[in-house]
């Protein structure tokens, strides 16, 4: 057992329905961790008195947050972060897809997987829903690296059978065989799970989407994820390609792909009818604000999601997004709502912490295990320690209250302030360890 001593901030409720009081903040708290699980939580002095013999990890010169949950991120794109100046379809053609084709080489794929997992953990992310490669072997290589990293990863082979360059295409039979093999090998193994992952309807025929429906039934708890409603040209082309579908999400729903384990990335140009459908089936949106801004996709309609009762979590969308930091994504989510004026939903720092932790755990069906630092949860945590003398350190020290301290974290901290990351009580090797 270990007794962690820290200032702890987490959001065990839902501030969109419960209000900003959902923030739980304790200074000089104690968290007792046994076999990776938090078994007691309370004032440090009380826990210390009750457990005088246990080793203590003193984290009082920083702030302890739940590990971040990234619900949309592409492993093959880690080396193309920073491709600025293009809208989505041009960026895919010129930036993302040429790099993704390089993962046909397994050795290259293995190196990219290491870069990706190192970047993810270093930013404080402990759980992620990850787009794999178009190649089964490169996806297999990724799962193996993810298992070694100790992170909680849900991922899947990305499938497409039209529009993209030939090397990236599959066919329905092959997708079924390869998908089944990957599910058998990796789904439910340790902290890993499988997600059926058509790239987007634009590059996926009805026959291939039908195979995705079959794969979703292959084992209990397999997730579904894809892109939708990101860019207006994309939405128009999907409408032309699927004349028999009511709208973008109907192309997935027709094949039984939408449900409580579904995460739709972007969803900027979603219609009210689609939001009704999502609310009915319990599907989630992954909001990726730096990507939406960088690719000029648009401002996310968070207020309409909330009004329809559709759950929203956050994604970094590396490499369309600008890095792994979910703290940065949280700040950008706040900016996007400010820029929407009366159509925006003003966000507090509590909303932002919820969005990058508990919301993602709920979207992935993992909220019984992770997302906050309550008793019974896994000890998945990110410890932020500001550099002494930095503006972040000074402003954090002068914060008026916990919500204000959290606002300082979102505005001023960077991945360089993430000093340690634990998953299931283990210090992740990928983070480089605690300095």
Residues that bind ligand GUN (CB under 6 A): 74, 88, 92, 96, 199-200, 227, 230, 291, 317, 320
Instruction: Give the pairing of strands 381-384 and 2-10.
Output: unpaired
150 binds, among Fe ion, ligand GUN, none (CB under 5 to 8 A by kind): none
Q: Which is nearer to ligand GUN, 291 or 431 (CB)?
A: 291
Taking the complex as a whole, how short is the minimal distance between the CB of residue 137 and ligand GUN, in angstroms? 20
The closest alpha carbon to 76, from 390, 275, 318, belongs to 318
Q: Which is nearer to Fe ion, 59 or 355 (CB)?
A: 355
Taking the complex as a whole, how short is the minimal distance between the CB of residue 263 and ligand GUN, in angstroms? 13
The closest alpha carbon to 336, from 357, 351, 318, 358, belongs to 351
**Secondary structure element (H or E) that encloses residue 328, with its range:** helix 326-339
Stretch that binds Fe ion, among 82-90, 310-318, 341-349, 405-413 (CB under 5 A): 310-318
Q: Which is nearer to ligand GUN, 66 or 320 (CB)?
A: 320
Q: Which pairs from 296-299 meet CB under 8 Å and 24+ separation?
A: 296/87, 297/87, 297/88, 297/230, 297/231, 297/266, 297/268, 298/231, 298/232, 298/268, 298/269, 299/268, 299/336, 299/339, 299/340, 299/344
Q: Which is nearer to ligand GUN, 83 or 309 (CB)?
A: 83
9 binds, among ligand GUN, Fe ion, none (CB under 5 to 8 A by kind): none
Q: Which of residues 314-333 bind Fe ion (CB under 5 A)?
A: 317
Q: Which is nearer to Fe ion, 230 or 380 (CB)?
A: 230
Taking the complex as a whole, how short is the minimal distance between the CB of residue 268 and ligand GUN, in angstroms? 11
Q: Which of residues 210-229 bind Fe ion (CB under 5 A)?
A: none
Q: Which of residues 35-94 bind Fe ion (CB under 5 A)?
A: none
Could you tell me the two tokens for 162? Answer: 């039209």
Neighbour count for residue 435 (Cβ, 10 Å): 6
The answer to whether 234 contacts Fe ion (rule: CB under 5 A) is no
Taking the complex as a whole, how short is the minimal distance between the CB of residue 252 and ligand GUN, in angstroms? 14
The closest alpha carbon to 218, from 248, 255, 181, belongs to 181
Q: Is 283 exposed, middle or buried (0-12, 13-18, 19+ CB in 10 A)?
A: buried
| 179 backbone dihedrals φ, ψ, rounded to 5° | -65, -45
Taking the complex as a whole, how short is the minimal distance between the CB of residue 245 and Fe ion, in angstroms? 21
Q: Would you give the DSSP letter of residue 428?
A: P
Taking the complex as a whole, how short is the minimal distance between the CB of residue 89 and ligand GUN, in angstroms? 9
Which residues of the chain form contacts with Fe ion (CB under 5 A)? 317
């Amino acid at each position: 057992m270990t007794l962690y001593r820290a200032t702890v901030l987490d959001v065990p409720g839902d501030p969109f329905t419960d209000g900003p009081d959902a923030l739980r903040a304790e200074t000089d708290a104690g968290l007792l961790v046994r076999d990776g699980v938090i078994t007691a939580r309370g004032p440090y002095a009380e826990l210390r008195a009750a457990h005088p013999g246990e080793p203590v990890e003193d984290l009082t010169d920083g702030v302890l947050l739940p590990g971040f949950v990234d619900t949309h991120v592409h492993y093959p794109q880690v080396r193309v972060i920073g491709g600025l100046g293009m809208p989505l379809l041009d960026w895919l053609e010129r930036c993302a897809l040429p790099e993704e084709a390089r993962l046909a080489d397994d050795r290259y794929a293995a190196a990219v997987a290491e870069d990706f997992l190192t970047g993810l953990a270093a930013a404080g992310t402990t759980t992620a829903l990850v787009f794999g490669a178009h190649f089964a072997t490169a996806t297999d290589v990724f799962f193996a690296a993810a298992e070694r990293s100790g992170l909680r990863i849900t991922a899947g082979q990305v499938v497409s059978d039209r529009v993209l360059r030939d090397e990236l295409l599959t066919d329905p039979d092959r997708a079924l065989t390869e998908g089944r093999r990957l599910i058998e090998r990796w789904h439910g193994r340790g902290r890993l799970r499988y997600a059926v992952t058509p790239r987007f309807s634009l590059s996926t025929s009805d026959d291939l989407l039908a195979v995705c429906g079959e794969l979703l039934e292959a084992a209990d708890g397999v997730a579904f994820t894809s892109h939708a409603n990101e860019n207006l040209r994309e939405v128009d082309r999907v409408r032309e390609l699927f004349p028999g579908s009511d709208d973008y999400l109907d192309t997935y729903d027709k094949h039984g792909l939408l449900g409580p384990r579904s995460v739709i990335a972007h969803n900027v140009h979603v219609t009210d009818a689609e939001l009704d459908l999502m609310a009915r089936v319990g599907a989630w949106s992954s909001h990726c604000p730096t990507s939406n801004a960088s690719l000029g996709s648009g401002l996310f309609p968070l207020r309409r999601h909330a009004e329809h009762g559709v759950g929203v979590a956050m994604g970094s969308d590396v490499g369309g997004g600008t890095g792994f930091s979910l703290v940065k994504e949280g700040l950008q989510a706040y900016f996007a709502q400010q820029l929407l004026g009366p159509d925006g939903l003003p966000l507090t720092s509590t909303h932002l912490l919820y969005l990058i932790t508990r919301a993602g755990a709920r979207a992935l069906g993992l909220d019984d295990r992770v997302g906050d630092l309550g008793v019974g949860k896994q000890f998945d945590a990110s410890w932020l320690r500001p550099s002494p003398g930095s503006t972040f350190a000074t402003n954090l020290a002068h914060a008026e209250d916990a919500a204000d301290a959290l606002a300082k974290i979102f505005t001023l901290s960077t991945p360089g302030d993430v000093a340690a990351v634990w998953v299931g009580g283990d210090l992740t090797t990928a983070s480089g360890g605690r300095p």
